[in-house]
Structure 1
Amino acid sequence: MRSLLLATTAAVFSFGYASAEVTDDDIANDSTITNQIVTNGMGRALQRYSPLDILNKDNVKNLVPAWAFSLGGEKQRGQETQPLVYDGVMYITGSYSRMYAIDIETGEELWQYDARLPEGILPCCDVVNRGAALYKDLVIFGTLDARIVALNKDTGDVVWRDKIEDYKAGYSYTAAPMIVNGLVVTGNSGGEFGIVGAVQARDAETGEMVWERPVIEGHMGTLNGEESTMTGTLNATWPGDMWKTGGGATWLGGSYDARTDTIIMGAGNPAPWNSWLRDAGQKNDGSGDNLYAASRIGIDPATGEIKWHFQTTPREGWDYDGVNEVVAYDNRTGEQRLATADRNGYFYVLDAADGDFVRGVPFVKNISWSSGLDENGRPIWVEENRPGDPAAAADGQKGEVIFASPSFLGGKNWMPMAFSQNTGNFYVPSNEWGMDIWNEPITYKKGAAYLGAGFTIKPNYEDHIGSLKAIDPDTGELVWEFKNDAPLWGGVMTTAGGLVFTGTPEGKFIAFDDATGEILWSFQTGSGIVGQPVTWEQNGEQYVSIISGWGGAVPLWGGEVAKKVNYLNQGGMLWTFRLPKQLASAD
């Protein structure tokens, strides 16, 4: 048992007090308890749906600011957190691996924890953090140097911490952890550095590792400190030793389907991007699929064994990461389903029991790399729209340049969609863009970028890039669409009051009519929104919070698109709104 660690490696400012503990029942029922938010996704199924209807289509116009909280300092970059709320306290993370506890009545800071990050961290896509997990008297989050830290939720003192992986090799961590059966479950980041994606489960109270499951075939899992089973079959879908640095980062975290007792994680792009180096003869027989990269994976929470997988982009060569969240839901006829909107531009519905393909439809326009999906959900490739092989080029240095749509930042990236039990529809934040992309020679070097590709992102349309789409998962039909000039990069939330909330890089926090897409309310926050909205009930009133602070991958990787939005201001402000009781029934 590791000894308890004092908070000597971070700045902690504490005015904490003893409070109630977060129970397993709190976590299991988070999606139905209206005065708390103790999980990422407002429930581990990640529906991001609130049963609250105090705030509705008729009175949302009366929503007013209650308080605002500044993250302060000079670290105003990429605020992507989802707030947690429990027993009078809100917990948020900030850029550069910071954690704050805030009094939800007043907006006053209770304590702050700043991780002391080492020199040489290698985050690919800004210094973001997407949130924390609550369990018993702990608040647990990950840091950019690939560590996981458990703090006392009342004081901010460090209780335990552990290393996920070696940051010097390119590993990092940006997702919100997940609690399942007393285990804290994490993935890892770093797919652009030739790392190996994995899922780890620790005892949430002590930090002791229980199991680890690598997601690239050939690597050995562990259970209770001993080797367990190999992932996949060695060299079944990877040539030579490429699997040893195969990528597949599990960087977005996962969901938990209590109906089947399954953890569902996404595995990202294989490494390197240059798919010709990972090709096994172009036989299209599965031998070059590079499992389990670009896949959704069902995992047994007790052992870490893989139950099933569904690969969205076999032989991936465009950086169409397969990490996008998997949402567990029941369709309109009561069938248990899973849904995910992939970076590759397709929206998938899977059978919850075994991950089998049910349906797949494009949710963005102008998909160029594939002409569709076959009956098993496998893409039908357009071979001429695969970036060219550098070895076939006259100089051996640059393969044929092709235009691919969507761009490598995806039809949808990390920003979470939401499901409405009110309408049965999904609300998907998407982007309509493409890229010039080409392959280059590359060799692996620890801690160095391992791409083997170059690219330039371009808008597909003059009048918009961002597009919030309402999608019927039973038919795949588009119900309505909201177009936005800049790319959408923030999360979405739905409510029983018939509302859909999200934000824009231009700073607007917007409430839409879930049936029609009509804008019913908006508020200018002063900086681009790339965070995740939440709502809860407090003293008989409904509250809504969103963090504002422009950043993330778009300004860093966006090419022509980045130039389009370079006027946007950074920030770090948490906005909280309320519907006063006296205005709840007002016209």
Structure 2
Amino acid sequence: MITRYADRSSPVARVGRACVLLGLTLLASCRAQEPARRGQEPAEAEVAIGAVTDELLRQGHRAQPATWPTYGGDWAQTRYSPLAEIRRETVHRLRPAWIAQTGIVGSFESTPLVLGREMYITTPAEQGVQRILRLDSTTGEVAWQVELAGKAQSATAATEDDHLPTHFGPNRGVALYGDRVYLGTLNGTLLALDRKSGKQLFEVQTLSPRLTGAPLAANGRVIQGLSWIDRGAVQAFDAETGALIWTWYTIPSPDDGGWWGDWVETLPGRPAISLDRNIAEEKANRRRLADGWKTGGASAPMTPTFDAATGLVYVSTGGPDPTAFPPPAEPHPGDMRWTNSVCALRLEDGSEAWCYQFLPHDIWGASGPTPPILFPLQHEGRSLDVVGKLTGMGNLYVLARDTGEHVSMSDNYIPLDETRGGPSGVNLFRGGMAGTLWSPGAYSFDTGLVYSANQYVPGYFQPRREARGAGQFGNVAAVDPSTGRVVWQQRTDRPQAGGVLATAGGLVFSGRTSGWLDAYDAATGKRMWSFRVGAGCNSAPMTYRVNGRQYVALSCGGHGTLDPQGGDTVIAFTLAPPPD
């Protein structure tokens, strides 16, 4: 059952039929808005979006503000909007336009996708039930909903033998392509639904027991990163038939170069930080644990990034699985390729173009598979096309997009503690959750900065003992990728788990796990506006403009680990009329 609250105030004056086609199907009426400002396109018509094309996904929201057609707004995952109706000078007038409640309370991490008045959202799973809904993006009314009963393992049903935490049942959204909606379910299947009706068109089983990330659709393929799998993988399926095209494994077999790597002894990009390794002992363990690559972890749960110019798909991987290397082995012998990495794969056949590992031999649990971001960069007199990767260590790596060559590494935007655990236990300032984990970042074409939402969760590390920590907080940070300097940080009362949105209105939006949505000055980090939603906001905000009004929307439902404030809310904001 859906409960909906809508704001029916602030009508927008209708002023004729000055409409822009932009490859979309026009309806009879058009609406006007206030004059275009910096970063804004002219007001578009009220539109019904036709088939979702590769060109729409490539250019994304930046070229067609009436849409947010893919998880990161475009294939490059910039999460940047050229809209500026909501800006520093007007954000104080931002109010809820509508609120929809899905009836499923859980870790609500789905980013809404929008095509004109169509909004698509997925819920988490509770008691074995998950839903996908199509809403009206201007009112929150439900056009259709599909209940995926039996396709979602209950967040409370997992047992110790399953190796799945009992709180974990999120889903981060869908992919749109042609006239279809694609969804990875929490029982490991990839579904294709008809966009207009919600009718199921195909269902295929992946290698994974559960899928949490939104798929990527590109060039007739649907790319799905796999979650909660012994040996991480990415799979590509035919968008029309669902046929499997290729599978790429994140942990290479011995025949493919092996997981042990180069036995590096310092942190890549920061040679002053030692990884404190006993290489001889690790090599001995490699011989004893020769099959560790089969269960080495390195899941790829988040949406991949795609560059049409190079034909490369960029995948972020998580950390190693400690159960792959039981005592008395030193955990994770070798570099454990390709854990904690970004890898570039050829879309055509899934072959590996290059991989870069940010944290070899991870003993801290510093997994951070947040999506890579593609952007242009001026660096030391050179114009570069780069891929930026925010990490669980709390910094930004910048790499050449075509070769993976290291370009720069930022200062830390959370404290980095190199302490190792010991038999008697030790407090670490980087516990099991810190830095940028799964929260997607954003790049602003106005400021040239990369923005991130981060976690700071100290912990107590001791063998066979539950971690504990105090003093948890988060921050929203801005990093200059050309210099590596942290330009600003704004501390928050709880760890940040949602993500960020940057706009041409000079604003950065991010939700807090404590239940607030905030808008920050993109240049200075000053908090300009806040709204208490009530449930933890752990999805990344997005924006769109329909009928001459800009909206900012996100889902809020709490998080099983970081915050107990559960909810089931999708909420969209727009500007209230200015005072007379």
Q: Alignment partner for residue 90 of structure 2, among 46, 59, 62?
A: 59
- The Cα shift of 1:80 comes to 0.5
- 1:28 alignment counterpart: 58
Q: Alignment partner for residue 185 of structure 1, among 223, 231, 243?
A: 223
Q: Distance in 2 between matches of 1:349 and 1:82?
A: 25
Contact residue 19 and residue 154 of structure 1 kept, 8 A: no
- 2:173 alignment counterpart: 131
Q: Distance in 2 between matches of 1:364 and 1:274?
A: 31
- 1:516 alignment counterpart: 524
Name the SS of the counterpart of 1:95 in structure 2.
coil
Q: Distance in 1 between matches of 2:243 and 2:345?
A: 19
Superposed counterparts of 1:246-261, under 5 Å: 246-261=296-311
- The Cα shift of 1:313 comes to 1.3
Contact residue 218 and residue 235 of structure 1 kept, 8 A: no
Contact residue 413 and residue 477 of structure 2 kept, 8 A: no
Contact residue 322 and residue 331 of structure 2 kept, 8 A: no
Superposed counterparts of 1:69-108, under 5 Å: 69-72=100-103, 75-96=104-125, 97-108=130-141
Q: Distance in 1 between matches of 2:508 and 2:347?
A: 32
Taking a change above 3 Å as real, the CA distance of residues 166 and 33 of structure 1, as seen in their structure-2 partners, is closer
Q: Distance in 1 between matches of 2:468 and 2:301?
A: 22
Superposed counterparts of 1:254-333, under 5 Å: 254-272=304-322, 288-332=334-378
Name the SS of the counterpart of 2:393 in structure 1.
coil
Taking a change above 3 Å as real, the CA distance of residues 21 and 418 of structure 1, as seen in their structure-2 partners, is same
Aligned residues: 491
Q: Which moved more, 1:470-479 or 1:302-311?
A: 470-479
Q: Distance in 2 between matches of 1:467 and 1:33?
A: 31
Cα deviations by residue, 1:319-369 (Å, 9 ceiling, x for unpaired): 222422211111246321111121123321111121121222342443122
Asked whether 1:493 is paired with 2:501, we answer: yes
Q: Which moved more, 1:206-215 or 1:28-37?
A: 28-37
Q: Distance in 1 between matches of 2:257 and 2:77?
A: 28
Q: Distance in 2 between matches of 1:179 and 1:200?
A: 12
- 1:145 alignment counterpart: 187
Cα deviations by residue, 1:531-573 (Å, 9 ceiling, x for unpaired): 1111111112211111121114425xxxxxxxxxxxx521111
Contact residue 275 and residue 315 of structure 1 kept, 8 A: no
Taking a change above 3 Å as real, the CA distance of residues 553 and 350 of structure 1, as seen in their structure-2 partners, is farther
- 1:576 alignment counterpart: 572
Over aligned residues, Cα RMSD in angstroms? Answer: 2.5
Contact residue 515 and residue 565 of structure 2 kept, 8 A: no
Q: Distance in 1 between matches of 2:460 and 2:182?
A: 40
Q: Alignment partner for residue 50 of structure 1, among 73, 78, 81?
A: 81
Q: Distance in 1 between matches of 2:261 and 2:485?
A: 37
- The Cα shift of 1:214 comes to 0.9
Taking a change above 3 Å as real, the CA distance of residues 418 and 510 of structure 1, as seen in their structure-2 partners, is same
Name the SS of the counterpart of 2:294 in structure 1.
helix
Asked whether 1:116 is paired with 2:140, we answer: no
Asked whether 1:386 is paired with 2:382, we answer: no
Give the aligned residue type for 1:254: P
Superposed counterparts of 1:397-408, under 5 Å: 399=423, 401-408=425-432
Cα deviations by residue, 1:360-396 (Å, 9 ceiling, x for unpaired): 2342443122xxxxxxxxxxxxxxx3335xxxxxxxx
- 1:208 alignment counterpart: 243
Asked whether 1:232 is paired with 2:270, we answer: no
Q: Which moved more, 1:496-505 or 1:237-246?
A: 237-246
Give the aligned residue type for 2:389: T
Give the aligned residue type for 1:160: F
Contact residue 553 and residue 570 of structure 2 kept, 8 A: yes
Contact residue 296 and residue 322 of structure 1 kept, 8 A: no
Contact residue 366 and residue 405 of structure 1 kept, 8 A: yes
Taking a change above 3 Å as real, the CA distance of residues 209 and 501 of structure 1, as seen in their structure-2 partners, is same
Contact residue 32 and residue 50 of structure 1 kept, 8 A: no
Asked whether 1:40 is paired with 2:71, we answer: yes
- 1:551 alignment counterpart: 559
Q: Alignment partner for residue 481 of structure 1, among 484, 489, 500?
A: 489
Cα deviations by residue, 1:49-98 (Å, 9 ceiling, x for unpaired): 001122211112222221111112xx301111100111421000111132
Asked whether 1:504 is paired with 2:554, we answer: no
Asked whether 1:341 is paired with 2:351, we answer: no
Q: Distance in 1 between matches of 2:87 and 2:415?
A: 36
Name the SS of the counterpart of 1:28 in structure 2.
helix
Q: Distance in 2 between matches of 1:183 and 1:215?
A: 19
Q: Distance in 1 between matches of 2:86 and 2:261?
A: 54
Contact residue 262 and residue 299 of structure 1 kept, 8 A: yes
- 1:436 alignment counterpart: 460
Cα deviations by residue, 1:501-538 (Å, 9 ceiling, x for unpaired): 01112221111111111222222112111111111111
- 2:232 alignment counterpart: 197
Name the SS of the counterpart of 2:573 in structure 1.
strand
Contact residue 208 and residue 227 of structure 2 kept, 8 A: no
Q: Distance in 2 between matches of 1:175 and 1:253?
A: 6
Q: Distance in 2 between matches of 1:534 and 1:342?
A: 22
Cα deviations by residue, 1:132-158 (Å, 9 ceiling, x for unpaired): 000111111111111111111111111
Give the aligned residue type for 1:162: V
Superposed counterparts of 1:150-165, under 5 Å: 150-165=192-207
Contact residue 216 and residue 231 of structure 1 kept, 8 A: no
Give the aligned residue type for 1:420: S
Q: Distance in 2 between matches of 1:474 and 1:275?
A: 39
- The Cα shift of 1:281 comes to 11
Runs of at least 5 residues in structure 2 that lack an aligned partner in the other structure: 1-47, 263-285
Q: Distance in 1 between matches of 2:92 and 2:559?
A: 29
Identity %: 31
